[in-house]
Amino acid sequence: MAAMTAVVPGAVSPVPPAVKLTADSTALLVCGTTCPTWNDAGIEAIMDRFVAPTHPGHTITPVAVTTPGESWPLTGIFRVLGLLLGDPSIFGPGGPAWPDEPWWKLSGLFDLTGDQSIEAGAAGLEEAMAAHPDEDLVIYGLSQGAASANVVKNRLAAQYPEDAAAPNIDFVFQGDASVPNGGLHARFPGLYIPILDWTFNGPAPTDTQFDTVIISTQYDGFADFPLYPINLVADLNAILGILYLHTRPFDVSLPADPTTSPAYRGTYGDSSYYFFETDDLPLFAPLRMLGVPEPVIDVVEPFFRVLVELGYDRSIPLWEPTPARLIPKLDAATVFADLGDAIEEGVDNALALVGLSPTPKAPSVGIEAVPAEDVETQVVNAEVGDFEAAEPSEAAPTIDQVDDITVETEEPTDGIDGEGEPTEDEIPASDLEGTAPDGTEAAGEEDAGSTVSEGSPSAQESPSEAEGDPPAGDATGRNSESSD
């Protein structure tokens, strides 16, 4: 509970903060739009799926709190859509959202506006809290109920700052539009729609003394709205997520130890976050309702999932307040790779649909190993420009064998370039020792020794050969032309 908060605001913890309830504990349960009061079936589902797992080992008495649950002029539309698409246990006959009021009021044209209903819900919740003054409390809010509970939490935070002794009150929010990263109110903080009297209250605080559990579902447009609204495919998917996912809160549940759930994302400040991923895009939910076979949808859904995810940045944690952005930062290579994989998956699904085998995977391209002797052959031949590469079956000369190669010289010409200048064979070795052919200082005796003709005395043994080193120059005994 609040007195046991062990996580410092600004720090991320791998486990949720410790919870300590007294023997007398009460859970106050608040429903959402079109749902004024939870019924017995809803109360049982909430306690089993969300309250008991996050508060293990304690006896908690549930109490349903009545609130308006209205949003002029949309309440009537929400009632119809909930009846058609939502959880029958909630929106069907006998459910808590089943209208129990005169027919003339079903349209929603006589309802409170969104802001008015949220404030009235907060007032109703505070009255319920006052009825249990000496008890530890767990407050559960769904959708608009979470909005009303957030109002109460903010008031408590102002009333009990960090250094004040605070009552033991926990919160559990589901389908909350104030999730710092993803909530519709957090995407557009401060936005006000006058005709609806609807204020976007921004992200929920995480620096209070009141431990909070936040449960959201991927693609629920109220709790997981796209970061980049310019992505219209992601926007449409999120809107359909409100109809097909937000209206089915009991499709998810927490295990006895919530930290073992794949949905657990971590704890930041006073809040622990659970994010349930979905296997199916809400984008194709209408087709599924119309009876389109799942294998047919599987042909195109992988591609569209990549497009939808381009509207989000999943690297940003849920607790980081993240308003909507205009232009996404994308890695083109990653995007094309993901689209390519999605297309390949779709093609495989299409082939499976008609009874064919999936497309064969391209073999991995490896590098063929080259024997060490072949490498040596290539190195030698790279240095010997006048020699052609040795055939694989022939033994290439080694460095030590170069000394034994008989060098054949060409017949003397009238000079280099035919201008009457002496050739290398006609230049005495003594003259070569001090000057290079281009007039520069010779590199050294090794280079000089490698440029003389076969009949020159210094051609028989150079200083480097006497020491056992390989002769300088190329393998033919002639000087390399790279220095000219």
**Model pLDDT, residue 23:** 55
DSSP string, 233-291: HHHHHHHHHIIIIIT-GGG----SSGGGSTTEEEEETTEEEEEE--SS-GGGHHHHHTT
What is the structure's pLDDT at 21? Answer: 59
Quick one: pLDDT at residue 465? Answer: 44
pTM of the predicted model as reported, rounded to 2 decimal places: 0.70
Q: Which residues on adjacent β-strands are paired with residue 65? A: 30
Q: Which residues of the chain have pLDDT under 50?
A: 1-11, 18, 366-370, 372, 375-393, 399, 402, 405, 407-410, 412-420, 425-426, 429-430, 432-437, 439-484
Query: What's residue 401's pLDDT?
Result: 52
Distance separating alpha carbons of residues 302 and 120, to the nearest angstrom: 44
Q: Name the residues annotated as catalytic.
A: 143
Tokens representing residue 307 in the block: 């497009």
Nearest to 220 by CA among 252, 197, 260: 252
Residue 57: predicted pLDDT: 83
Residue-wise pLDDT tens digits, 34-62 = 999 999 999 999 999 999 999 988 889 99
Q: Round to whole Å and give the CA distance between 6 and 14.
A: 12
Q: Decide if 273 contacts 258 (C-beta within 8 A).
A: no
The residue among 138, 134, 84, 75 whose CA lies nearest residue 108 is 75
Dihedral sign of CA atoms 181, 187, 190, 195 in order: negative
Task: Give residues with Cβ within 8 angstroms of 183, minimum separation 6.
Answer: 176, 177, 203, 204, 216, 222, 223, 225
The label of the residue with tokens 């010779």 reads 442
What pLDDT is recorded for position 91? Answer: 85
> From the CA atom positions of the chain, what is the Rg in Å?
40
What residues contact 100, with CB distance under 8 A and at least 6 apart? none
Residue 323 CA to residue 225 CA, distance in Å, equals 10
Q: Residue 51's closest CA among 35, 28, 69, 31?
A: 28
At 449, phi and psi to the nearest 5? -65, -25
The candidate with the shortest Cα–Cα distance to 276, out of 256, 251, 304, is 251
- C-alpha separations of 264 from 65, 214, 270, 318, 457 in Å: 28, 10, 15, 11, 87
Pick from 421, 445, 416: nearest CA to 433: 445
User: Which residue intervals of the chain bear CATH 3.40.50?
Assistant: 12-283
State the number of CA atoms in the 13 A half-sphere of 173 facing the CB.
33
For domain 12-283, the CATH architecture is 3-Layer(aba) Sandwich (3.40)
Largest CA distance in the chain: 124
